[in-house]
């Protein structure tokens, strides 16, 4: 850990893979910029990789004042130990007050390793980050300008606000899609600072044998309309109705965890706390009861239509329009009504 450093910068871990930045890194730059402005400090991105220098300008355009570039062939492929060494070394060297990471599979592998090595705090999967003054209820000491790390817990049935008084940096991961991607400003200028980090052979403990990366076929985040099915759809066959409705309305197909776990559709369609977070213009939830984990991933949608047989289903608590009825009757009616519109 490092001592609280009120002049410390706000950092974003710039996750990249094969030379392209992960969306979440760009999204987080916007939030980090806001936090840094509030604190009156600089915002920086940490960019480890190999031949990734050209990515720095994109981070600058999203709000970074500085980009700490660690360019090393041994960082070409992500390994927990090497990347954790980079983060720990730079944190010790520059003493930032806040470090945020995307809550991607990679971020969730890396961030806790860094926190453990630094003996600092780490809060997973935040849905909001704010700055606020907090009085420690035990010691009655007032701490100014702490990072309020807000996240759902307990299966999403509670929202907890977490703080880290003194074992800094204050660190958190944030899910993809939670923070809006701000428009890039290509006129912004920032400093690229080359950093050297000692990486001994012992850190290269993993050998990559084979890698298979599927292109992201499902563009849930970019969809204007999403039709999502849940456990209530009942079978893979019935899920065809969801695809059909999505086809008619020109939308993407989403799913709740229950539908994915039941094998009705692939995991890449999952929306919610452990899937993609979306905010389309229209979200049609079919046979989704609406566990908080799911709602956390879609409640920001501009319009929500819920179809469910159970009038008490929690999904109705976030819906703008609710239809209580059997989806095998309601969805065909909706398909018909939409076709008539054209």
Partner 1 sequence: MPYDSIVCVKQVPDTANITAEAMKEDGTVNRAALPAIFNPEDLHALEAALEIRDLYGGTVTAVSMGPPKAADVLRECLYRGADRVILLTDRRAAASDTLATSYILCQAIRTIGRFDFVFCGRQAIDGDTAQVGPQCAEKLGITQITYLEQLVHLDGQVVQVRRNVGHGWEIVEAKLPVLITVIQSANKPRPAAAKRVMRYKRARAEAELLAELQRERPEASNEELQEQLGRRAAELKSRGLLIEQWDLDDIHADLSRCGLAGSPTKVLRVQAIVLTKEGYTEIPATEEGIRQLVRELVVDRTLG
216 binds partner 1 (CB under 8 A): yes
Q: Give the list of residues 6+ apart from residue 148 with CB closer than 8 angstroms, or none.
A: 128, 129, 130, 131, 132, 134, 161, 162, 163
Looking at 123, 127, 270, 277, which residue binds partner 1 (CB under 8 A)? 123
121 binds partner 1 (CB under 8 A): yes
Bridge partners, 192 (sequence order): 67
Looking at 6, 236, 240, 303, which residue binds partner 1 (CB under 8 A)? 303
We find the least distance from the C-beta atom of residue 44 to partner 1, in angstroms, to be: 22
Looking at 7, 19, 37, 116, which residue binds partner 1 (CB under 8 A)? 116
Looking at 189, 201, 213, 219, which residue binds partner 1 (CB under 8 A)? 213
Binders of partner 1: how many residues, by CB under 8 A?
A: 93
316 binds partner 1 (CB under 8 A): yes
CA distance 169 to 219: 34
Alpha-carbon dihedral sign for residues 32, 36, 37, 38: positive
The smaller minimum CB distance to partner 1, of residues 142 and 187, is found at 142
Other CB atoms closer than 10 Å to residue 201's CB: what's the count? 7
CA distance 47 to 70: 6
The smaller minimum CB distance to partner 1, of residues 119 and 140, is found at 119
160 binds partner 1 (CB under 8 A): yes
Looking at 76, 131, 134, 181, which residue binds partner 1 (CB under 8 A)? 134
Bridge partners, 142 (sequence order): 135
Looking at 205, 235, 310, 328, which residue binds partner 1 (CB under 8 A)? 205
CA distance 206 to 218: 31
333 binds partner 1 (CB under 8 A): yes
Judged by CB under 8 A, the chain residues 254 through 293 that form the site for partner 1 are 261, 268, 273-274, 281-282, 291-292
Residue position matching structure tokens 């453990």: 116
CA distance 129 to 178: 11
């Amino acid at each position: 850990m490092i001592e609280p450093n009120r002049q410390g910068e706000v950092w974003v871990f710039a996750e990249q893979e094969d030379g392209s930045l992960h969306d979440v890194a760009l999204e987080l730059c916007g939030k980090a910029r806001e936090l840094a402005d509030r604190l009156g400090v600089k915002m920086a991105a940490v960019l480890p990789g190999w031949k990734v220098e050209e990515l720095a300008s994109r981070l600058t355009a999203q709000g970074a004042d500085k980009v700490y570039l660690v360019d090393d062939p041994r960082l070409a492929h992500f390994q927990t130990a090497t990347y954790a060494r980079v983060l720990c070394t730079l944190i010790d060297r520059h003493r930032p007050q806040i470090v945020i990471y995307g809550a991607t599979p990679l971020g969730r592998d890396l961030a806790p390793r860094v926190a453990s090595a630094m003996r600092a705090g780490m809060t997973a999967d935040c849905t909001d980050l704010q700055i606020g003054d907090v009085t420690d209820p035990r010691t009655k000491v007032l701490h100014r300008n702490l990072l309020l790390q807000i996240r759902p817990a307990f299966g999403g049935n509670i929202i907890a606000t977490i703080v880290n008084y003194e074992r800094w940096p204050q660190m958190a991961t944030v899910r993809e899609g939670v923070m809006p991607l701000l428009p890039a400003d290509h006129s912004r200028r920032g400093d690229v600072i080359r950093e050297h980090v000692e990486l001994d052979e012992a850190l290269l403990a993993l050998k990559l044998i084979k890698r298979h990366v599927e292109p992201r076929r499902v563009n849930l985040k970019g969809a204007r309309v999403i039709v999502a099915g849940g456990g209530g759809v009942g079978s893979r066959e019935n899920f065809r109705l969801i695809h059909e409705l999505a086809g008619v309305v020109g939308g993407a197909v989403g799913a709740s965890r229950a539908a994915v776990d039941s094998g009705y559709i692939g995991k890449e369609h999952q929306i919610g706390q452990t899937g993609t977070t979306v905010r389309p213009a229209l979200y049609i939830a079919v046979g989704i009861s609406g566990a908080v984990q799911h709602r956390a991933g879609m409640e920001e949608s501009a319009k929500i239509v819920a179809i469910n047989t159970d009038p008490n289903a929690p999904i109705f608590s976030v819906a703008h329009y609710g239809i209580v009825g059997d989806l095998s009757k309601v969805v065909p009616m909706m398909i018909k009504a939409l076709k008539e519109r054209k």
